[in-house]
């Protein structure tokens, strides 16, 4: 497999309801992953050198759902399904991070 242009990792970690750390799944991580998957399919990004992976916990559960994009290693927090096309259009296609969704420096 060739090295991807961008690799998107979406946290779908689940914990029991009411867990003190919460979880990305509880905050909609599964829906965010599905939105990325749908957009990847619709835009044929799989065949264009982009990779999408769901993950377990990446750390800041209270700020989730979290998404990390490599090779830049930028973390987005509080991502909603409606943010997905913007992340793809701006970051994946034109290397312009979506600043309003970037994790605070103290977190990442």
Decide if pLDDT at 21 tops 90.
no
Judged against a pLDDT cut of 80, whether residue 1 lies above it is answered with: no
Pick the CATH number of 6-101 from 3.10.20.30, 3.30.460.80, 3.40.30.10, 1.10.490.10: 3.40.30.10
pLDDT surpasses 80 at 16: yes
Beta-carbon neighbour count of residue 13 at 10 Å? 21
- Residues 32-91: tens digit of each pLDDT: 999 999 999 999 999 999 999 999 999 998 899 999 999 999 999 999 999 999 999 999
Which residues does residue 69 pair with via DSSP β-bridges, in sequence order? 8, 74
Domain boundaries along the sequence of the chain: 6-101
- In 3D space, the residue among 89, 84, 66 whose CA is nearest the CA of residue 76 turns out to be 66
């Amino acid at each position: 497999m060739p090295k991807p242009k961008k690799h998107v990792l979406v946290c779908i970690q689940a914990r029991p309801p009411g867990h003190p750390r919460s979880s990305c799944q509880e905050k909609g991580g599964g829906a965010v992953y599905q939105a990325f998957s749908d957009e990847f399919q619709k835009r044929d990004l799989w065949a264009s050198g982009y990779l999408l992976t769901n993950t377990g916990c990446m750390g800041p559960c209270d700020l989730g759902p979290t998404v990390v994009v490599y090779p830049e290693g930028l973390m987005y927090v509080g991502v909603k399904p409606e943010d997905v096309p913007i992340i793809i259009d701006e970051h994946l296609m034109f290397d312009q991070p979506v600043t309003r969704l970037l994790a605070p420096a103290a977190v990442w």
